[in-house]
Every structure is written in C-alpha cells, then in structure tokens.
Structure 1
C-alpha cells in the first residue's frame, strides 16, 4: 500500500516539475 506521505511527495514533485517546465518555456526565446 502507498502511504499518504509518498502520495504527497509524488504530488509535490509533479507540481515542481510542471512549474519548472513552464518557467523554462517562458525563459526560452521565441523562435527556438
């Protein structure tokens, strides 16, 4: 069984990656 701590950690990682990708796309110059 998966503990709530593991589920919470997974959600945190997914959220961080999603935000990181958004910021990366924003920082990249349009035309690349």
Structure 2
C-alpha cells in the first residue's frame, strides 16, 4: 500500500511541476503581450 501511495505521490509531484511550468509560460506570454 505504501508503494502504491509513493507511486501516486511521484506522479502528482510531476504533474504539479508541469502545472507550475505551464503557469509560468502562460504568465510570461500574458506579460509579453
């Protein structure tokens, strides 16, 4: 069960990192526009 949770946590962490970079990209585009 802990292994499954750890796998889910790493997946969520990767998703959060992608979401953060996406937000940075969008705000950069808005700032440049």
Shorter-chain TM-score bucket reads 0.7 to 0.9
- The structure richer in helix per residue is 2
Cα RMSD, aligned residues only: 2.1
| Structure 2 gaps, min length 5 | none
Instruction: State how many pairs are aligned.
Output: 30
| Structure 1 gaps, min length 5 | none
User: Scaled by the length of structure 2, what TM-score is found?
Assistant: 0.75
Q: Kindly report structure 1 stretches of 4+ aligned residues shifted beyond 3 Å.
A: none
